[in-house]
Chains A and B, each alone.
Chain A
Amino acid sequence: MTTASSASGTTAIEVAGLTRRFRVRSRGFARKEVTAVDGLTLTVGAGESVGYIGANGAGKSTTIKMLAGILVPSAGTVRTCGLEPVRQRRELARRLGVVFGQRSQLWWDLPLAESYRILAAVHSLSPQRERERTAELVERLELGEFLATPVRQLSLGQRMRGEVAAALLHSPALLVLDEPTIGLDVLSKQRLREFLLAERAAHGTTLLLTTHDMGDVSRLCERVLLVDRGRLAYDGSLAGLSKTVGARRVLVVDLAAPAPDLLGVPHAEHLGSEGGGLRQRLAFDDAATTAAAVLSAVSERVEVRDLSVEEPDVEDVVRRIYAAGGR
């Protein structure tokens, strides 16, 4: 379906011994060398959907910049879509789409639609292909309402949808998303995730995403790579990761009246109570039960007025890996 991936075999990303060192100023004129990525070796097959997670400063963005040919590695080899990123940057740019959550690739002062016109020319899309692909993305990402609005006037949620469309306009074989849901509200996150699932189903796009939101990973990714201090600390399924570290979700319930601690709910652990028992927090493991089952067990005992579910975040997972002596 995607010619770029079939032309380069079945491997989207191939990295061996990848290392990047930076020299940073420490005190005065003294310079210190920092290793951001340290001997990373990994392979991502075409069509895979991979979450690349780690704490701040773990080396995620540095890796992505080397994958895209923006940054020259200090050591090791990279092949992205079968190409050498730095030497074949422009050829790679035709097969790769990247969304940096913190940077815009849209033309700030111009109406959103104008960015797509420029990018279509940049990627040498034929007029027919430009019309079809733009129409498809505008419809599926619901951009129609603000196509004529200058990018600087868009809300964050609108702009992120616009960014994703910009990265996908040339139908890349590999889509890299660096913190795509940062700062988005729950509804915007949900819409973006649904779109990405549909896009993968329709075009077989390979997906690599970095995030701090385990919700992104659990809904979008079949495989998780956990990087810590520049090294690969875990490579496997999310379920396996949760099992290793016991990352649990937390159900927070607000009750109609203060109640004693909700102990003994099946597969759930009472973490604590606030307001004399008005608000209670219960941790549960997705593998053993569901939020609905925990809630119904709680509802049998007390009257619930409000609730929310807290997702485990990446920092939490990383912390637990070390607490468990995972490496």
Chain B
Amino acid sequence: MRLSPGPQRRGPEQDLPRGAASTWLRVHGRLLASGFRRGAAYRGAALGGLVANVTFGFLKVSVLTAAVAAGGGELGGYDEAAIIAYAWLSQALLGSVNLFGRTDLADRIKDGSVAVDLLRPLDVQTATTAQEVGRALFQLLPRGLPIIVLGVLVGGMRLPTDPATLALGLLSALLAVLLSFLLVYLVAATGFWTVETRGVQVLYMIVSGFLAGLFVPVTLFPQWLYALALATPFPSLLQVPIDVISGRVDGAAALGVVGVQVAWVAAVFAVGHLMTRAGRRRLEVQGG
């Protein structure tokens, strides 16, 4: 990022250095905060989401613990405590990690409102992602945290108390949220070519949830499917943050899987960047 030179590029009304990293952070910080507040505007919907996540949490716990019991108290390295933690943590992340593929941007491309986004001196990819991530982070308050508290108090979940593990777990969860929105951005960006993206969204929803480990941990997959999953970014959305938070993966191994998350964030961001550049020239804004 380059500092913009000279008075010619800076009007008197815009006296913050435009190309500077600090300005970039200020803009995207405010976009993130606006997304967070948008999330807060719909508390009723958040409450509905909480009820749904908790209900399915209890179902998931009963199914998975029964499977562990049938396996003689251990299944693919998971004992009862570990599988309970897996079930509750995956439900807690579900409100913030986008596994559904739906975004505002897809709708905005379809109805032409994306024209307004293009009227701003912003990169569409970073501006969109900042707002969506902000909205998802809000969901941690009414949905993520209550489910973790509930899991610990009622569900019999135990979490590590070591601050370093928890800090790395939090980082891993944030990376998962960011990665999911960079991925669904790709889904929406196909709309630059096709306008309608519902088919791609449904495909993403089916594939991402399964390969992320929403239903069963990825590590329980048969070998070939496990290898396939690891070749995709999806395990970084749930399996990895759950492993790191619960302490099932720790030490150098934990740093390693978080490193893989960072690599996926960079790669998916790069793909989105290229798609935006190519797709913008294909865009045919709909309607008046």
Q: Could you tell me which A residues sit within 8 Å of B by CB distance?
A: 2-4, 7, 22, 61, 65, 68-72, 86, 89-91, 93-94, 96, 98, 100, 102-105, 107, 109-110, 114, 117-119, 121-126, 129, 133, 150, 170-171, 178-179
Flag if B41 contacts A121 (CB, 8 Å): no
Flag if A114 contacts B14 (CB, 8 Å): no
Flag if B27 contacts A61 (CB, 8 Å): no
Minimal beta-carbon separation of A151 from chain B (angstroms)? 11
Flag if B14 contacts A129 (CB, 8 Å): yes
**Top-5 shortest CB links A-B:** A93-B121, A121-B30, A124-B16, A109-B41, A90-B121
- Encode contact with A along B227-265: 1 for CB under 8 Å, 0 otherwise: 000000000000000000000000000000000000000
Cβ–Cβ < 8 Å partners of A86 in chain B: 281
25 contacts between A and B (CB under 8 A): A7-B8, A61-B288, A68-B118, A70-B285, A71-B283, A94-B121, A100-B288, A102-B287, A103-B112, A103-B113, A105-B116, A110-B41, A114-B34, A114-B37, A121-B30, A122-B121, A123-B14, A124-B16, A124-B17, A125-B14, A125-B16, A126-B14, A129-B13, A170-B13, A171-B13
Flag if B14 contacts A124 (CB, 8 Å): yes
Cβ–Cβ < 8 Å partners of A61 in chain B: 288
Q: Which residue of B lies closest to A22 (CB)?
A: B284
Q: Which residue of B13, B41, B118 is within 8 Å of A150 (Cβ)? A: B41
Q: Which residue of B lies closest to A108 (CB)?
A: B38
Chain B contact residues, majority secondary structure = loop
Q: Which residue of A70, A109, A129 is within 8 Å of B42 (Cβ)? A: A109
Q: Which residue of B41, B121, B122 is within 8 Å of A91 (Cβ)? A: B121
Cβ–Cβ < 8 Å partners of A93 in chain B: 119-122
B18 at the interface (CB under 8 A from A): yes
Q: A93-B120, A122-B122 are in contact. Are A133 and B281 (CB under 8 A)?
A: no
Flag if A110 contacts B14 (CB, 8 Å): no
Cβ–Cβ < 8 Å partners of A7 in chain B: 8
Minimal beta-carbon separation of A35 from chain B (angstroms)? 14
- Encode contact with A along B274-288: 1 for CB under 8 Å, 0 otherwise: 000000010111011
Q: Could you tell me which B residues sit within 8 Å of A by CB distance?
A: 8, 11-18, 23, 26-27, 29-31, 34, 37-38, 41-42, 112-113, 115-116, 118-123, 281, 283-285, 287-288
Minimal beta-carbon separation of A104 from chain B (angstroms)? 7
Flag if A100 contacts B34 (CB, 8 Å): no
Q: Which residue of B lies closest to A4 (CB)?
A: B11
Cβ–Cβ < 8 Å partners of A100 in chain B: 115-116, 288
Q: A71-B284, A125-B13, A133-B13 are in contact. Are A103 and B34 (CB under 8 A)?
A: no
20 more contacts with CB within 8 A, not counting A70-B115, A125-B15, are: A65-B285, A68-B119, A71-B284, A72-B281, A93-B121, A100-B116, A100-B288, A102-B287, A105-B116, A105-B119, A109-B38, A118-B30, A118-B31, A119-B120, A121-B27, A122-B27, A122-B122, A125-B14, A129-B15, A178-B288
Flag if B41 contacts A3 (CB, 8 Å): no
In the assembly, what is the distance between CA of A114 and CA of B37, in Å?
A: 10
Q: Which residue of B lies closest to A60 (CB)?
A: B288
Flag if B118 contacts A3 (CB, 8 Å): no
Minimal beta-carbon separation of B182 from chain A (angstroms)? 21
Cβ–Cβ < 8 Å partners of B288 in chain A: 61, 100, 102, 178-179
Minimal beta-carbon separation of B153 from chain A (angstroms)? 33
Identify which of A100, A104, A179 gathers the most chain B CB atoms within 10 Å of its CB.
Answer: A100
Cβ–Cβ < 8 Å partners of B14 in chain A: 94, 123-126, 129, 170
Cβ–Cβ < 8 Å partners of A2 in chain B: 11
Minimal beta-carbon separation of A63 from chain B (angstroms)? 12
In the assembly, what is the distance between CA of A258 and CA of B75, in Å?
A: 95
Flag if B8 contacts A89 (CB, 8 Å): no
In the assembly, what is the distance between CA of A117 and CA of B123, in Å?
A: 18
In the assembly, what is the distance between CA of A86 and CA of B121, in Å?
A: 12
In the assembly, what is the distance between CA of A90 and CA of B120, in Å?
A: 7
Q: A22-B284, A107-B38, A110-B38 are in contact. Are A126 and B119 (CB under 8 A)?
A: no
In the assembly, what is the distance between CA of A155 and CA of B173, in Å?
A: 41
Flag if B287 contacts A70 (CB, 8 Å): no
Cβ–Cβ < 8 Å partners of B12 in chain A: 3
Cβ–Cβ < 8 Å partners of A170 in chain B: 13-14
Cβ–Cβ < 8 Å partners of A121 in chain B: 26-27, 29-31
Minimal beta-carbon separation of A229 from chain B (angstroms)? 17
Cβ–Cβ < 8 Å partners of A119 in chain B: 120
Q: Which residue of B11, B38, B120 is within 8 Å of A3 (Cβ)? A: B11
Cβ–Cβ < 8 Å partners of A123 in chain B: 14, 121
Flag if B41 contacts A103 (CB, 8 Å): no
Flag if B16 contacts A126 (CB, 8 Å): yes
Flag if A171 contacts B115 (CB, 8 Å): no
Minimal beta-carbon separation of B39 from chain A (angstroms)? 9
In the assembly, what is the distance between CA of A280 and CA of B122, in Å?
A: 56
Cβ–Cβ < 8 Å partners of B23 in chain A: 124
Cβ–Cβ < 8 Å partners of B16 in chain A: 124-126
Identify which of B11, B16, B285 gathers the most chain A CB atoms within 10 Å of its CB.
Answer: B11
